[in-house]
Amino acid sequence: MNYCYGKYYTGNFSDMKPIQKLVPGKYLFFNCLLNKKFNFFVVNDELIIYSEKGLLKQLDLFKKFKNKFQYIDLSSKNKIIVYKNKCENILLYMFLTNKKSILLKNFNYMIIEKILKGTPLKYIKNIILFLHIRKYPLHKLKKLKSKYKYDKNMNAIEEIQWKLKVFKSSELLKEFEKDYKLEEKKIIEIINNNKNSNEFKLYYNKNKKKFKSHSFTKEIKQIKNSVFFTCKVAKKYKKLFPNY
């Protein structure tokens, strides 16, 4: 279930698993929660379906998941999902990202989210490294001496793979690792200091009662309007959800 940690947890492109080609990641993430791969994730109620075969699997998942999760609204469109009532890390994440006294780069907020989410530190580093290299100026990498030659005919994916090879074979990797280690330490200190603060305790007590049960009712009803609501799907739908 390494797909739980995203596309770049290895620091490179990760191959999609067969289940990922059938079922949208947002529903697989609920499985990740049940299997304690992480603590929470952000989602919306928009129904996504890839195929009839995938929808048949989604029906089983919706039946399996129904009323097992809680959520708190993050915005008018998104909600944060948690399994059962383990809400401390979610509220700490919301508390830190809304705290104006904490000024960090965008990547650092991502690190905060992934640490509190429960992503292994080695995976977080790999993900941030991949995103850093992807955004690294192409013209600067072209100037480096490297055995990996740039080809102007490369497509977008080949170009990113080239950037990864050049970056990781240069001194730039050591610079990144040094800076990242300092940032990770700084962020962990911020998390720990705020987690034990009176300010967060007040925030936690104020917001812990705002969590509601996530029923999947909206998604289940939307299935009937899908182009993939075939006779085969309808038969299983009626069996699993006779009251809809």
pLDDT in tens, 149-208: 999 999 999 999 999 999 999 999 999 999 999 999 999 999 999 999 999 999 999 999
Domain ranges in the chain are 1-86+211-244, 88-210
Position with higher pLDDT, 234 vs 108:
234
pLDDT in tens, 97-128: 888 666 666 678 889 999 999 999 999 999 99
Q: Can you tell me the mean pLDDT for 75-100?
A: 88
Distance (Å) of CA 105 to CA 92, 102, 172: 18, 10, 19
Closest CA to 148 of 127, 164, 134, 135: 164
Give the count of beta carbons closer than 10 Å to the beta carbon of residue 124: 22
pLDDT confidence of residue 1: 76
